[in-house]
Structure 1
Amino acid sequence: MIDYTAPNRARAAAIPREAHEEPILARPHQPRITREMATRAALDIIDRGGLDHFSLTLVSRSLGVKSPSLYHHFRDKSELLAEIPRHILRTINFRPGAGDSWEERTLRLCVEARRGLLEHPHAAPLILQFFPRHSLLTAYEQAVKDYPEASEDRLGILDGIEKLTFGSALFEAASRARGIPSMPAVDAGRFPNLARAIARESTDSEATFVAAMRIFLAGVRHGSEAPDRRKAARSGHSDIAPVRYT
């Protein structure tokens, strides 16, 4: 019987291996990398090239594996990107000092969180896109426990601290990623009051953040010690006269 496939097999065998089309890759049976390794590699790529140049191919190449190896740990690119904010927040180095007041503990934690985010300015937008609030619930529980006993609006305090901390970090990260100052040059002739404020006060972004946090925390302390103001705040009313437009 004549084997008509023999010539075809012979021709295929004669073709150099590198000339063959690369086969479709299946997911390996055993993962060659860990979830942590992939997350670190992804963050390093974003740190060096920004989000616009990020790809799963670059991640797998940096780890010396094929892209399907990543699918042992992540369903897709979005899930890997969502892991990066959690990774950054897990690496925050905070140790409360013995005897610190709740204000000082809160301030130190917020400063460390902000510093951690600013170590990776190109990745900071992922905090906004994939904010890992569920990963912060334990920290939030402790924070709410620390707030003044008299305070009746602990969720409002938590919300204010969260927005100040992450908002400040995101604005500063955007400036650093673009290589521009967070406060532009100010024409003293057009903006005399702002120019004087800048001249008097530090323009260091962390110092400005600390000052803003101290003002906020002082307001929380004052409000917790003023029952009438707390009652007005909770009822939605204020003793501030409304603005009348004519």
Structure 2
Amino acid sequence: MARPSKPLISRAAAVAASIEIIDSEGLDAFSLPRLAKHIGVRAPSLYHHFSDKSAILAAVARQIAGAGNLPRRKPGPDWPEFFVTLSMNLRRSILKHRNAAPILLQYLPRDLLIGTYEDTARFLEESGVPAHLHVQILDGMERLTLGAVLTEAMRKPSTKSTIFPNVDPESQPLLSKALAANEMTSRQLFEEMIRSFLHGVVRNENVAITDAAPSDNVKISAN
């Protein structure tokens, strides 16, 4: 069947409907016929906006990961908090759509997490971060954030006591003790992991500067 000469739906509506199906019925339930039925059109109408199913899934990944994730940023000594907020926003969006986690793993464009690389490198430079640390920060942020969030999304939601599930106090007394002593939620643990990584990069750089030129060191600020 030939597709209609004019689109019967918008691209945004098709993406939103795709997310609704995946959220409520799971990724296995998603197909072009199922999507078309959900929005009341015939499947050929979808080809006005998407070449195939993969193109729709890629748009879903961008929508989930990109919607409202970029916080306002102003270069300065507290630059790590921009990345912390960015990661927290992405985590919240992905966990809202847990069934879509495999889609993001496969289709998420690498530059979507941090915006354009050039703009982010400029932000780091204007914040006083040396250029030789930019790749380490940007690559590390993507790996940490996506790896941690997608892993969390594919597990059942946890409480402080079930971060490590099925722990036996008799055979695993130390881990049980650690869980009992832990006061952080999964969200707080994630936030501190991101912050620790960024401050660790700064700390290591300052140590290297101090070791190389103790009389002329200029420390990077990360307040």
1:169 aligns with 2:154: no
Task: Give the alignment's TM-score, normalised by structure 2.
Answer: 0.81
Superposed CA deviations along residues 107-139 of structure 1, whole A, max 9, x for unmatched, are 011101111111100001111111212445634
Map 1:4-153; keep pairs closer than 5 Å: 25-96=1-72, 101-136=78-113, 138-147=115-124, 148-150=128-130, 152-153=132-133
Task: State the identity as a percent.
Answer: 38
Superposed CA deviations along residues 196-239 of structure 1, whole A, max 9, x for unmatched, are 221122352111101211221221110221235998xxxxxxxx
Which letter maps to 1:150?
P
1:121–1:176 CA contact under 8 A, matched in 2: no
Superposition deviation, residue 66 in structure 1: 0.5
- Which residue number corresponds to residue 221 of structure 1? 202
2:66–2:113 CA contact under 8 A, matched in 1: no
- Which of the pair has more CA radius of gyration? 1
Superposed CA deviations along residues 70-112 of structure 1, whole A, max 9, x for unmatched, are 0111111111111111111231244336677111111011101
Superposition deviation, residue 143 in structure 1: 3.2
Mapped partners of 2:35, 2:211: distance in 1: 52
2:111–2:117 CA contact under 8 A, matched in 1: no
Mapped partners of 1:47, 1:70: distance in 2: 20
Tell me how large the CA RMSD over aligned residues is: 2.5
Count matched residues: 204
Mapped partners of 2:109, 2:115: distance in 1: 12
Mapped partners of 1:76, 1:134: distance in 2: 23
Superposition deviation, residue 59 in structure 1: 0.8
Superposed CA deviations along residues 116-169 of structure 1, whole A, max 9, x for unmatched, are 111100001111111212445634433333435236232122111111111111
Higher relative contact order (CA 8 A, sep 6+): 2
What are structure 2's unaligned runs of at least 5 residues? Answer: 213-223
Aligned in 2, Cα 1:198/1:59: closer, same or farther, shift over 3 Å? Answer: same
Mapped partners of 1:217, 1:137: distance in 2: 14
1:223–1:229 CA contact under 8 A, matched in 2: no
Give the match's secondary structure for 1:52. helix
Mapped partners of 2:150, 2:69: distance in 1: 19
Map 1:157-196; keep pairs closer than 5 Å: 157-176=137-156, 182-196=163-177
Mapped partners of 1:47, 1:61: distance in 2: 16
What are structure 1's unaligned runs of at least 5 residues? Answer: 1-24, 232-246
Task: Give the alignment's TM-score, normalised by structure 1.
Answer: 0.74
Mapped partners of 2:163, 2:22: distance in 1: 21
1:111–1:210 CA contact under 8 A, matched in 2: yes
Aligned in 2, Cα 1:218/1:211: closer, same or farther, shift over 3 Å? Answer: same
- Which residue number corresponds to residue 136 of structure 2? 156
Which letter maps to 2:146?
F
Aligned in 2, Cα 1:40/1:107: closer, same or farther, shift over 3 Å? Answer: same
1:51–1:123 CA contact under 8 A, matched in 2: yes
